[in-house]
Structure 1
Amino acid sequence: MNAAAVLRPVVDAALGTDLPVRVDCWDGSSIGPSDADVVVRFTNRRALRRLVWAPNELGFARAYVSGDIQLEGDLLDALTRLDQLADPERGPGVRVGPDTRAAVARAVVRLGALGPPPRPPSEEIRLSGHRHDRGRDARAVSHHYDVGNDFYELVLGPSMVYSCAYFERAPSSSYTLEDAQRAKLDLVARKLGLTPGMRLLDVGCGWGALIVHAAREYGVRAVGVTLSQPQAAYARSRIAELGLQDRVEVRVQDYRDVTDGPFDAIASVGMAEHVGLSRLGEYAAHLHGLVSPSGRLLNHAIARRPGPPGDPRGDRTSFIDRYVFPDGELHPLSTVVDALESAGFEVRDVESIREHYADTLRAWVGNLEQNWDAAVRLSSAGRARVWRLYMAGSALAFQSHRLGVNQVLAVRPGPGGANSLPRTRSGLLGVPPG
């Protein structure tokens, strides 16, 4: 009997008989419609063993990253179909009851897939030490960001901006990711009210796009901090190329060690996700101490849906934690606002740009797929698969409202509550009246 015939009862027990994808097995047999647009290919028995030992997203991720499972066709479409199958509100739902477990046990024995758990792919990491201490945070950042500047340039494009873009028009050949990233940088600068001579701190400055933009277009003096040596080297090279050394400084430094305030404005774009709930109050208080009275903070961060930490809908997933953002924690918007207000900030504006991140991630997936061979050469096949799965899955999460992303603008009130903010939202965004 072929592998597909043995696995068919498992699929039927878990997902039902009406399967909209095709499952190809290592012996050439298949389950599902022959003309399916999406194909899940088990390249060997080890794929099944990985799923038996970790019957969840981590087992699937290990199998995909290692190449034991391949997804053929449009990955976003594939994940959408698989997500619909697993969601009881839109598909049959995954049913893991006695029948499913019995079917799995019989299949494993008949296919000779018994054995110890396979070694995880080399791209998987588990950190040691105290969560969110300086040393562990530095190792977490290095795991994610020190893949190589050339690799990131393939994925992110020339802007080298690794955060949600701002699509003022629908994505098209005439309005690209680069246009939307410039619009995002400008949106942040306008919300912060940047003017010539101001001093800006960019917490988690990445490859320096915001501090360069702020210095060139708004005439500020900027300091950017990052924990990544390769990021800092890239940013410093770009700054020197543009002749901005007298106005822009990049440091390899933990934000908690920045003590040379005050700054007129602070940007934190895509960095608060690394802080952790236990450190969120400390983060907000430290930034409050660094910004001058009447100065503004723009906190741009991914948000999860409300619920307790560790909730299945919650702050992190096993795949993300092991392969992408070790120790990353996402917080509900209300938690972030509470932390900022408790530190003494006055929150003045909140903007959700969730749909923009879905478009951004689709563009990054497209860049990676178009440059796949180069991406593998610059990193590894497993690392490229990690990024493809992570970005495609994240696009689906933002599109379906499982994740959000918000820009929270806050001000440190001056004496008597004074601040320099315009009286209207259109004024805040620099929109001419009328």
Structure 2
Amino acid sequence: MADAAVRLLALAEGALGAPLPLRIRAWDGSEAGPPDAPLLVLRHRRALRRLLWKPGELGLARAWVAGDIEVEGDLYETLERLSGLIWERDEPQGGLRPLDAVRSLRDPALRRMAREALLLAGPGLPPAPPAEEAPRRGGVRHTLSRDREAIHHHYDVGNTFYERVLGPSMVYSCAYWQQPGGTLEEAQEAKLDLICRKLSLTEGQRLLDVGCGWGSMVLHAAQRYGVRAVGVTLSTEQAAYARKRVADAGLTDRVEIRVQDYRAVDDGPYDAISSIGMAEHVGSAQYRAYASALYGLLRPGGRLLNHQIARRPLEREDAYRVDEFIDRYVFPDGELSPLGSTVELLEEAGFEVRDVEALREHYGRTLRAWVANLETHWPEAVRLTSPGRARVWRLYMAASALAFEHNRIGVNQVVAVKTTTSGDASFPRTRHAWLEPH
């Protein structure tokens, strides 16, 4: 077989109903497609079997993670060209076994195409998913034990790996790029300082950082603003790393790191709460309880800074489907909600929402910086985790960068206040107090 690429190209264009804007190189060394396009390499027939047994995004993701397909050329350009053909289309529901799918096709041309694909893929059962895939689970989402498992899957993959991707700041959320030529570390410090100013932190106050990660927020607030801070995380590896940073900074008397669910925090009141890139793990069914819990932990007049990724609203919210690749490989049980839903639920909990700032463009640039870090440290990243895990991260961060840049998702900082009964929120009349760094 020396013409596999030609046959693959014809099959792909027949299935998609449009020209494939990529060049293909097949396992037999043959190539087909536009000569100046990015090159999609199918290194093994197994890649085609993955797509036949699981059409759509998940089959393609499995082939990528397993190393059955590769991209030669610009990954961002490749994803741009594929997005309209694959990720923005409805995926097959339920899934059919390949032979059943062939028998179900009534159009003779489609039946011929399906048989051709099966012959080209070769015999064999569906390949096992890559080891990096989280198993699908039934039952109730966002119980305490299930959330711990989800956090473990994503965050407990080695702190050194995260150092290589995130850089010295060890901040895993959207940076705040004040200068066109600024560095990632400068942008992350600017983000942390912006949050401290929005919370109006002053010396001696108590700060709770929900989902504290590797401790960057609590360290910044304690060092620059003199607060006493508590950071909570479900990741044991994060907590160990953060505690060492706190000890090295000589702040053990002012900063405490706990392995604790936000639902178990009971030592309020706090003067301020920050939740930075954590609420995406809460889930829509639990969000009202999340907002109420944070409201109950604040003193009257206290502020919440909720920094959260948002999806675009849909005409029918019950049509929302969790992204299969993200759910299986990146953030199990993660859910995105529209900004309006988040604001509504915060208000229902009793908060007065005082400010919303959209940072969508900032996240695209942040993700591109993380991808660049990963690519710079690629051999070490593979050694520290696995080839599949490193490939998961490269794909998810690059695709997410494009999603932010094309307004498919956004990220917002919401400042909400537990307003006193007199109506006094002790809030500045303008944003001027937030503009100058501390």
TM over 0.5: yes
Match in the other structure for 1:383: 389
2:223 aligned residue: 216
Is residue 37 of structure 2 the alignment partner of residue 28 of structure 1? no
Give yes or no for contact 1:294–1:413 (8 Å, CA) kept in 2: yes
In structure 2, what residue type is equivalent to 1:72? E
Using a 3 Å threshold, how does the CA distance of structure 1 residues 68 and 21 change in structure 2: closer, same or farther? same
Secondary structure of 2:302's aligned partner: strand
SS in 1 for 2:422: helix
Change (3 A) 1:88 1:244: closer
Match of 1:297 among 284, 295, 304: 304
Name the structure 2 match of 1:73: 73
Given that residues 270 and 298 in structure 2 are in contact (C-alpha distance below 8 angstroms), is that contact kept between their aligned partners in structure 1?
yes
Structure 1, residues 209-231: CA drift from partner, whole Å, max 9, x if none? 00000000000000000000000
Report the residue type matching 2:73 in the other structure. Answer: G
The reply to whether residue 333 of structure 1 matches residue 339 of structure 2 is yes
Aligned to 1:422: 428
Alignment partner of 1:366 is 2:367: no
8 A Cα contact 1:261 1:291, kept in partner: yes
Q: Which residue of 2 aligns with 1:161?
A: 171
Question: Cα–Cα, structure 1 residues 274 and 138, in superposed 2: closer, same or farther, change >3 Å?
Answer: same
1:255, 1:194 → 2: CA distance? 21
**What SS is found at the alignment partner of 1:416?**
coil
* Alpha-carbon distance in 2 for matches of 1:63, 1:84: 19
In the alignment, does 2:128 pair up with 1:119? yes
Partner of 1:59: 59
Does residue 280 (structure 1) correspond to residue 287 (structure 2)? The answer is: yes
Match of residue 152 from structure 1: 162
Residue identity opposite 2:156 in structure 1: D
Distance (Å, rounded) in 1 between the aligned partners of 2:309 and 2:121: 43
2:148 to 138, 144, 148: 138
Quick one: distance in 2 between partners of 1:101 and 1:147? 44
Q: CA RMSD in A?
A: 2.0
1:110 deviates by 2.8
Distance 1:99 1:296, change over 3 A: farther
Matched residues in 1 for 2:336 and 2:321: separation? Answer: 4
* 1:319 to 2:328 alignment: no
Compared CA separation, residues 31 and 295, structure 1 to 2 (3 A): same
Give ranges in structure 1 of 5+ residues lacking alignment: 90-95
2:48–2:121 CA contact under 8 A, matched in 1: no
Q: Which runs of 5+ in 2 are unaligned?
A: 90-104
Cα 1:421/1:118, change in 2 over 3 Å: same
Aligned-partner residue type, residue 166 of structure 1: Y
How many residues align? The count is 419
Deviations 1:45-82 (A, max 9, x none): 11000000111100000000001111121211211122
**Is it true that 1:411 corresponds to 2:380 in the alignment?**
no
Separation in 1 of the partners of 2:112 and 2:343?
Answer: 48
Q: Which moved more, 1:410-419 or 1:126-135?
A: 126-135
Distance 1:310 1:102, change over 3 A: farther
Indicate conservation of the 8 Å contact 2:11/2:117, yes or no: no
DSSP 3-state at the match of 1:111: helix
Q: TM-score scaled by structure 2?
A: 0.92
Q: What letter is aligned with 1:118?
A: P
Task: Render the CA deviation track for 1:120-172: whole Å, top value 9, x for unaligned.
Answer: 000001245521000000000000000110000000000000000000122x3
Letter paired with 1:34: P
**Which one-letter code corresponds to 2:127 in the other structure?**
P
- Of residues 98-107 and 254-263 in structure 1, the stretch that sits farther from structure 2 once superposed is 98-107
Q: Following TM superposition, by how much is the alpha carbon of 1:104 offset from its aligned partner in structure 2, in angstroms? A: 4.1
| Structure 1 Cα separation of the partners of residues 317 and 164 of structure 2 | 34
Question: Shift in Å at residue 192 of structure 1?
Answer: 0.3
Partner of 1:92: none
The percent of aligned pairs where both chains have the same amino acid is 60
Q: 1:233 matched to which residue of 2?
A: 240
Is the Cα contact below 8 Å between 1:310 and 1:316 reproduced in 2? no
Question: Separation in 2 of the partners of 1:156 and 1:20?
Answer: 33
Conserved 8 A contact 1:128-1:136: no
Instruction: Verify the 8 A CA contact 1:10 1:100 in the aligned structure 2.
Output: no
Which aligned runs of 4 or more in structure 1 are off by greater than 6 angstroms? none
